Chain A
């Protein structure tokens, strides 16, 4: 049997970040990945022989402090100076473009719309600063928080308060609102309303008119702040963040084991003492860190029978049915689009909201909003690769997904062909990954991007559940990180970083020599 100080389940970006930091601290670390390649949803996906596409096509930057801590520059990864443009493809007199960090400059709008948008953006950015602060703090867990943790949140709140009475009142007023009401009262015009509504709800089981849907936008903007401006477009060709993180972890001394699916967590007298692989091999560890979904961690690897009922009930009730699908395309000709930008189809609030009905009633949406990026294909098998992210496609489709994938691809291509004439006939290969496919391929219950819903009842210390909100779990020796924990999904590495820092603060964190 092999012994490690820490064994990390799941080689997604959070697992890699945690592994890198823990290995660098001198601990003996193993990172176990079920699949062949590391990076989880941050990696690229081979959708046709020899053709790969990024799964997360538009990602926020790794927060600057973490970027430095992980020395990603040294490993050949730069955050880039400015953010990628977001381009609304929908009809208007001019093409609507958000430049830089979430529309620091706009083009294609009237001067009135521009002014209204900049006022709103400024206010939202100010409010999102609180979220950005909280995202890099370990949540204060009732009864077990350190003075430092309590001081950190008190400082962040005070800082926000000091932004002025009016702005603080606005934060309290707006925090739980729906994004549609906020954008409509700001009078930024239908196309921007649609775009913000889409961005606030993509990946969440909410529509723009659902209460609290503004939270999704805060989360996105918080990452713009943490990463010093703007998202980046993933590239199928160049080395992505996943590969860089894997190399960094490896360089720090972590043992990376691919094709090593964990079948269970070993328990001894209520304490996690290691893992068993599907091959039957056992690995013993002082700490087990799971970066996979909490539903999989507790439901499959620990087993509900080994959890106290109240906590098991919380986990079993986590809302984890995904609603995002992927469509990958290989084109034999480069269309009239520019690379390095994000294209969005979300013409209005009404459009996004109506399409959200499909999720509520388990139907196939007729014209769902989507975003896509286009990048060069390096091997020469195709001229361009397009990675589309489609909203409002329910996991639990009433009619089932068997015929659904084709139907969805066809409706998206029809819409894309209207927006980008001629695109359809240049498609030479394509694949749809519906939520059940994402579930199966990435061992992700429900195929949910954020592992489970990221909403006000499942944020901060309540994520994934009270009692496991600071990366520790009710199972001694078992830690969790990943999108299912604070601060949720997106490729930020924050959850892995916070979990690792908590683990390192623990006494006796090393396997006795």
Chain B
């Protein structure tokens, strides 16, 4: 009896995952100690901050000084081998042959029906070494796609910690921290940073439309990286931020988020909710000259037969009431689409939105679009019908984003 109890004890101790239902990022100790309360949300199983102290201040850290955002929960795959390029060419929409070692590109991938499974960034470290970063988990799909290729695929989400350092002073902070090469990095370049305490992979990328970098280190070096950046950035306004402020910056930059601005095809429950790349503004990615890639036949067919029904657009909406979740109407009557993200943009000083509309309303009919906004005014909704205009994305274009070498703010 006693033996049995002991055995049960051992088994129970091996199965205590339920005691910590949310995983903690390697930066959790720093985030938690800076945070004013417990403003956590769930990002792919990890506790991630909505904000640290104040969303407003954090937004201005992105645009005026430097913001640090923990991207460790982002799903990461390491893809290596002789056929890695060929494999990724079949998997993703863009032509990976055009991605040189030491470069990053934004890409997306589809199922056989041409419906987008996810979007993400592809880092090419060398001829045969890649890292794919994305929102959803795809290991079974990646492994099945790898049949016939000499390639090895491992998920390294839990092994690699990532930080985004974004904002005008981000380059100066990295320089201060001892990364001299930062001046040479052009947008989408990758470089290795050998610091005394860690070795990081640094790319000039980000999700803010601002000058910024993303840094990756093994998880056991995570805190060393954090502390190095904060020490170097003390006089340059470095601040930890949460997702809410980042979300504002990304809307201004016109970036879309999987399962917010479009539904990924593996998670969609309703057959008509999935999207072709052309329906979420990613038609430019599709490298039709590649002989085979997932979704090619379906995309060719849909383009030929005019089966694309939706379109993702940037909107400018009159007034200053953010139109999040608003239904769009043509002529204030016929339903035309839905706003998936909207803010009052502090930088553009405009009321902006990202929306999905039916294609037939995007042409000549686009000058009669209206957003139905319910504004809460002292415990009563006031229904506003505001004119919406289709405008170019990104909503803001900052010269410092691409300027090389970056200015020393």
Contact = CB atoms under 8 A, between A and B. Distances in A.
A467 B301 CA distance: 14
A146 B12 CA distance: 61
A306 B112 contact: no
B294 interface: yes
Given A312-B144, A316-B147, A305 B294 contact: no
B409 interface: no
Contacts of A402: none
Contacts of A306: 148, 291-292
A151 to B, nearest CB: 23
A308 B113 CA distance: 10
A270 B148 contact: no
B145 A309 contact: yes
A307 interface: yes
Interface string A269-299: 1100000000000000000000000000000
A311 B148 contact: no
B168 interface: no
Contact of B297 (A305, A308, A309): A308
Main secondary structure of the interface of A (DSSP, over half): helix
B290 to A, nearest CB: 8
A303 interface: yes
B111 A312 contact: no
A219 B294 CA distance: 36
A474 B291 CA distance: 13
A420 to B, nearest CB: 49
Interface string B82-95: 01001100110000
B292 A270 contact: yes
A159 interface: no
Contacts of A268: 291
A311 to B, nearest CB: 6
A474 B297 contact: yes
B63 interface: no
B112 A309 contact: yes
B401 interface: no
Interface size class of B (residues with CB under 8 A): 20 to 34
A310 interface: yes
A236 to B, nearest CB: 41
Contacts of B242: none
A51 B144 CA distance: 46
A69 B29 CA distance: 80
A270 B112 CA distance: 14
B56 to A, nearest CB: 45
B295 interface: yes
B106 interface: no
A152 interface: no
A307 B144 contact: no
A308 to B, nearest CB: 5
Nearest to B298: A308
A338 interface: no
Contacts of B149: 305
Given A269-B291, A270-B291, A305 B112 contact: no
Contacts of B111: 309-310
A304 interface: yes
Contact of A312 (B87, B147, B291, B293): B147
Nearest to A309: B145
A310 B294 contact: yes
Given A267-B291, A474-B297, A313 B144 contact: yes
Contact of B112 (A269, A310, A316): A310
Given A267-B291, A269-B291, A309 B296 contact: no
Contacts of B291: 267-270, 306
Contacts of A308: 90, 112, 292-297
Contact of A305 (B86, B295, B296): B86
Contacts of B147: 304-305, 312, 316
A311 B147 CA distance: 12
Nearest to B117: A309
Q: Which of A270, A304, A310 has the most CB of B within 10 A?
A: A310
Interface string B69-113: 000000000000001001100110000000000000000000111
Contacts of B86: 305
Contacts of B144: 309, 312-313, 316
A305 B141 CA distance: 14
A13 to B, nearest CB: 30
B77 to A, nearest CB: 15
A478 to B, nearest CB: 13
Nearest to B149: A305
A303 B292 CA distance: 12
Interface string A457-489: 000000000010000001000000000000000
Given A312-B147, A467-B112, A307 B141 contact: no
28 contacts: A270-B291, A303-B148, A304-B147, A304-B148, A305-B83, A305-B86, A305-B87, A305-B90, A305-B149, A305-B292, A306-B148, A307-B292, A308-B90, A308-B112, A308-B292, A308-B294, A308-B295, A309-B90, A309-B91, A309-B111, A309-B294, A310-B111, A310-B112, A312-B147, A312-B148, A313-B144, A467-B112, A474-B112
Give me the 5 closest cross-chain CB pairs, A-B, nearest first.
A305-B148, A310-B112, A304-B147, A304-B148, A270-B291
Interface of B: 83, 86-87, 90-91, 111-113, 141, 144-145, 147-149, 291-297
Given A309-B141, A474-B297, 4 more contacts: A304-B148, A306-B292, A309-B90, A309-B294
Interface of A: 267-270, 303-313, 316, 467, 474
